[in-house]
A and B are shown apart, each in its own frame.
Chain A
Amino acid sequence: MFALYRKLIAASIRSQMQYKINFVTSAATTGMIMVLDFIILSAILYRFHDVVGWNIYEVGMLYGISSASVSLYRLFAPEINDFEKYIVQGELDQLLIRPVSPLLLLLTRNLDLSRVGGVVQGMSVLVVSLSGLAAEGKSIMGLVLFSPIAILSGGVIYFSIGLATAGVAFWTHQMKDMLTFTIYAPANASNYPIGLYPNWLKWLFFSAIPIAYMNYLPMLTLLGKGGAWFYPILTPVAAAIAFYFARMLWNVGIRHYHSTGS
């Protein structure tokens, strides 16, 4: 299984390298957009000093985790994010005739290497925030240990949301609009403390689009903001549950796949 994954990934990287210029420019653009994004956020934070009681380094923790997580998802699962074409153009056909899970084939069709920039950017923000918190005299041991778990769990949560959206697209035949609601807007929202938002939105982020478990909830505990001791444990648990339900929805969706007339 792993050998096959490696072989397929190697093949798609070799394919991409056929178009080197395209690869370089898209990596550069993505990197620049993300840097710009962060500059805007810092500008806002410097102006206001804090957001509902979270100072710049604390928000930086949220931002870093969310940013690295979403980039991780976009790096490894560009074909999930771009799944609409498989349904609309019937490209899923060729994945379903192989004696291998179509999900494995999808994930190995493409790696969006230009997203590495986003992962690095997110982690840099984390490093800056951690040193800032250390300078304030806070203990950062727990945060350092927890960050990788948060990023991986966050990646899985975004992946699950993407997969569930793709599953729904078997009915709607349309995914791009939906991604705005399920991935892009929530990814932006999770750069800030969820406590900021109205109740219905909070509910949404704790249930159907469970991004709160990725950074906000565990940070309540780890930054000493009154979170219960077990909140950080909920992070990987929520990721696992989200993945479980997303797979289920995806599997039901595949049964409704219509393909196209030839």
Chain B
Amino acid sequence: MIEAKHIEKSFFLTKAKEGRFASLRTLFSREQREVKAVHDISFSIDRGEFVGYIGPNGAGKSTTIKMLAGILHPSQGEIRIGGYSPQRERIQVASQIGVVFGQRTQLWWDLPVRDSFEILQAMYKINDKAYRRSMEAYQELLDLHEFLDTPVRKLSLGQRMRADLAAALLHDPPVLFLDEPTIGLDVVAKTRIRAFLKEVNQTQKKTILLTTHDMDDIEQLCNRIIVINHGKKMMDTSLVDLRRQIGLPSLIRIEFRQPPEKLYDLEGIKRMELAENVLSIYFDKGKISSPRILAEVAGWGEPLDIQMKEPGIEEIIRLIYR
């Protein structure tokens, strides 16, 4: 469904001039610096896969998605979406894909949500029957009716994201590109978006490529993970394999009134560190739940404060390198 062969993207950054006629002098300047945002990346994604595309900031995630979506032209290499090239056959590819950028809405800012949907219907030439069918399905799954007549600028972030998702799916594209769809959302909104994405992936067999910084997104949604760093592919593996290789450790940090006298080992706990009266427990969420740990640890002393930390993407990169 999605095919990328040895794609590269280099940017030539011209050093911007300052002062009088800056733009003209910049145009004719020869001082250029080549930056390789994406370097020889290949992958192939089948229909119905849910792939997490992860890496630290500036790794080239967005650049890759933008090349797949036909926004940017790769400097080298070939891309196929459903058999079409996003560069040479952009229009065909556009009707095959739905794109959501978490940071920026695709909706008409000052108009009611409904108006955006109607404009998109005309733009994608969706016939009335299919349009009604999509609207009914997504209204139910995303509760759109709550804010269908509200101007987009007045929506909460969570509502806006729901509207954006429905808008991206309106023309029933087989492929979805989601760039940080849960960024900035609260837990409730995140859970809701995830449930929706899972549903769409499983019942409609949509192929989804998702970038995120949230490891919960990855754990709950993706069955495959591609890790990139500095524009290069570092790893392409299933979630199960990733967990086996590096374990995706979650962290609980507990501050006790008195340092506990004895630490007991539990199934699923990978490592414990005690510094004065603060105990750090690294554990595998797949094997033991945090409430189990807390229940257990409460017997070791009197907890004053509890902090939970999910492994960040940087942590994972570090573990892969190790």
Contacts and interface: CB of A to CB of B under 8 A. Distances in A.
B73 A255 contact: yes
Interface string A227-262: 000000000000000000000000000011111011
A155 B215 CA distance: 54
Contact of A257 (B26, B72, B94, B124): B72
Contacts of B70: 96-97
**Chain A binding site: helix, strand, loop or mixed by DSSP?**
helix
B111 A15 contact: yes
A15 B115 CA distance: 11
B58 interface: yes
Contacts of A3: 122
B257 interface: no
A147 to B, nearest CB: 35
Interface residues of B, number: 43
Interface string B283-314: 00000000000000000000000000000000
Given A93-B101, A261-B58, A178 B123 contact: no
B109 interface: yes
A178 B71 contact: no
A193 B299 CA distance: 94
17 contacts: A11-B108, A15-B110, A18-B151, A92-B71, A96-B90, A97-B70, A97-B99, A99-B91, A99-B95, A168-B27, A172-B26, A174-B23, A175-B23, A177-B21, A259-B66, A259-B71, A261-B62
B145 interface: no
Interface in A114-173: 168, 171-173
A49 to B, nearest CB: 38
A15 B71 contact: no
A11 B26 CA distance: 37
Interface of A: 3-4, 7-8, 11, 14-15, 18, 92-94, 96-100, 168, 171-178, 181, 255-259, 261-262
Nearest to A84: B23
A178 B23 CA distance: 7
Interface centre among B23, B62, B119 (most CB of A within 10 A): B23
A262 B62 CA distance: 7
Lowest 7 CB-CB distances: which A-B pairs, in order? A174-B23, A15-B110, A99-B94, A177-B23, A262-B62, A96-B71, A99-B95
B24 A178 contact: yes
B97 interface: yes
B110 A172 contact: no
Nearest to A178: B23
Nearest to B180: A262
